[in-house]
């Protein structure tokens, strides 16, 4: 007996990272030593005081029951306090803050709250695949906004066709950006808010990387922009900021009506974050932050090692101001998937082909700074032997 997948699943493109993982498993089974600069998963441990908070909370039977899908008051207040201290943004923890099972969950579910079949959703290209896949699950049509080097990889909102804008329900933006590592200023976010208001679009800003910035740069929050709270929300996460990718703690903040819509979806799908993990999230947001200086310095050294090394090999790579990604033009002009395959099979270096993150990612590969500096140096040695530029 065979079973036919739903149309929505058949509409999805192959999930890039699953394909890469299959190739990695195959090569490792063959005894290949790989240096994985592919997926952005921090290699540094979660700070000890956060782990200790989880340990204490997990021993309390009161935390073993169903969690509230709207999140513990203590966590929502900690999130609001963090936004106030970091961005100067005041939030009502009861109406403008919603904890999530990681931002991926919230990004995937927000179209279910506001997108009807046939509606359009504006998504960055290249971009995080979940912007498009969540839209498809809701029956919507993703409309790709090309991120081009000549525009600093900023989505050109003025180039969007007015008819398309009139049918759009959501607009996803992501700065600092994955995969391009591009950044924007507050003026750009204010233009985006004005565009959304003009066309009646909900703006969803994915701000997962605001705390991974270098050389004195401090990325802004969308909610700092004039008019932002009228038109949208911002997603944030503890994953990259606190090395907590596996813990699955994120949050959405901003417009109360949008927060309420997303919350209604969640209340019908999940039962919230394990309360002991919520307590650990409080410890992360309100506890010592001194580890962050060392963490950022670690990423900065890795960034400089990789960028300088690639440029010494003849690649033309720009030094990113934020995120732990380096967006590398393919040095020999070959298709990005072919080039990434060659790096993997001939050099044992894992990189993400740009085309897998959207058609406009063609011509690039993404490398992550989530391996020790010594491994990055080894990867550079292997790439040097390939003589690809």
Cα distance between residue 300 and residue 212, in whole Å: 10
Give pLDDT, residue 16: 66
113: Cα separation from own chain's centroid: 21
* Structural domain that includes position 105: 48-286
CA distance 72 to 67: 8
Which pLDDT belongs to residue 389? Answer: 61
Give me the pLDDT at residue 285, please: 97
Answer yes or no: do 41 and 57 share one domain.
no
This model's pTM is above 0.85: yes
- Residue where one domain finishes, among candidates 236, 251, 286: 286
Query: What's the pLDDT score for residue 7?
Result: 86
Given a cut of 70, the residues of the chain with pLDDT beneath it are 15-17, 389
- The answer to whether residue 313 sits within a structural domain is yes
Would you say 207 and 221 are in contact if contact means Cβ atoms under 8 Å apart?
Answer: yes
Q: Are residues 255 and 303 in the same domain?
A: no
Q: How many domains does the chain have?
A: 2
**Bridge pairing between strands 232-237 and 325-329:** unpaired
DSSP letters spanning 314-333: T------SBSSEEEEE-TT-
CATH number, domain of 310, equals 3.90.1150.10
CA-wise closest residue to 361 among 127, 64, 200, 115: 127
Q: In terms of domains, do 216 and 364 share one?
A: no
Which runs of consecutive H residues, i.e. helices, occur in the chain?
Answer: 7-11, 16-29, 48-58, 73-87, 103-114, 130-137, 162-167, 186-199, 228-231, 256-267, 275-286, 291-312, 336-342, 373-386
The answer to whether position 92 is within a domain reads yes
Instruction: At 161, list the tokens.
Output: 């066709």
**CB 336 within 8 Å of CB 353:** yes
Judge whether 1 lies within some domain. Answer: no
Q: Tokens 């030593």 identify what position?
A: 33
């Amino acid at each position: 007996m065979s079973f036919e997948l739903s149309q929505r699943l058949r509409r999805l493109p192959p999930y890039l990272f699953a394909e890469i993982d299959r190739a990695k498993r195959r090569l490792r089974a063959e005894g290949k030593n790989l240096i994985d600069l592919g997926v952005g998963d921090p290699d540094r441990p979660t700070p000890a005081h956060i782990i200790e908070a989880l340990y204490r909370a997990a021993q309390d039977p009161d935390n073993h029951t169903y969690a509230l899908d709207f999140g513990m008051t203590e966590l929502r207040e900690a999130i609001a306090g963090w936004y106030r201290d970091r961005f100067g943004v005041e939030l009502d923890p009861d109406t403008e803050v919603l904890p999530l099972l990681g931002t991926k969950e919230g990004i995937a579910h927000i179209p279910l709250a506001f997108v009807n079949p046939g509606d359009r959703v504006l998504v960055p290209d290249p971009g995080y695949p979940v912007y498009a896949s969540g839209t498809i699950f809701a029956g919507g049509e993703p409309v790709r906004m090309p991120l081009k080097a000549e525009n600093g990889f900023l989505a050109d909102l003025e180039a969007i066709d007015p008819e398309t804008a009139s049918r759009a329900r959501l607009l996803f933006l992501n700065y600092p950006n994955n995969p391009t590592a591009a950044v924007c200023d507050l003026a750009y976010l204010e233009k985006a808010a004005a565009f959304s208001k003009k066309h009646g679009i909900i703006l969803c800003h994915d701000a997962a990387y605001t705390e991974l910035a270098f050389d004195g740069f401090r990325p802004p929050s969308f909610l700092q922009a004039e008019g932002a709270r009228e038109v949208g929300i911002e997603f944030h996460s503890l994953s990259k900021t606190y090395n907590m990718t596996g813990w699955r703690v994120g949050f959405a903040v901003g417009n109360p009506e949008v927060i309420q819509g997303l919350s209604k979806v969640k209340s019908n799908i999940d039962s919230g974050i394990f309360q002991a993990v919520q307590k650990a999230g409080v410890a992360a947001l309100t506890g010592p932050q001194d580890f962050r200086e060392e963490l950022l310095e670690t990423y900065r050294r890795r960034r400089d090692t990789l960028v300088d090394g690639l440029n010494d090999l003849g690649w033309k790579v720009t030094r990113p101001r934020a995120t732990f990604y380096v967006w590398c033009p393919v040095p020999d002009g070959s298709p990005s998937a072919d080039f990434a395959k060659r790096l993997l099979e001939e050099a044992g270096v894992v990189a993400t082909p740009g085309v897998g993150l959207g058609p406009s990612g063609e011509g690039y590969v993404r490398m992550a700074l989530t391996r020790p500096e010594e491994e990055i140096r080894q990867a550079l040695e292997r790439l040097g032997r390939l003589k690809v530029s």
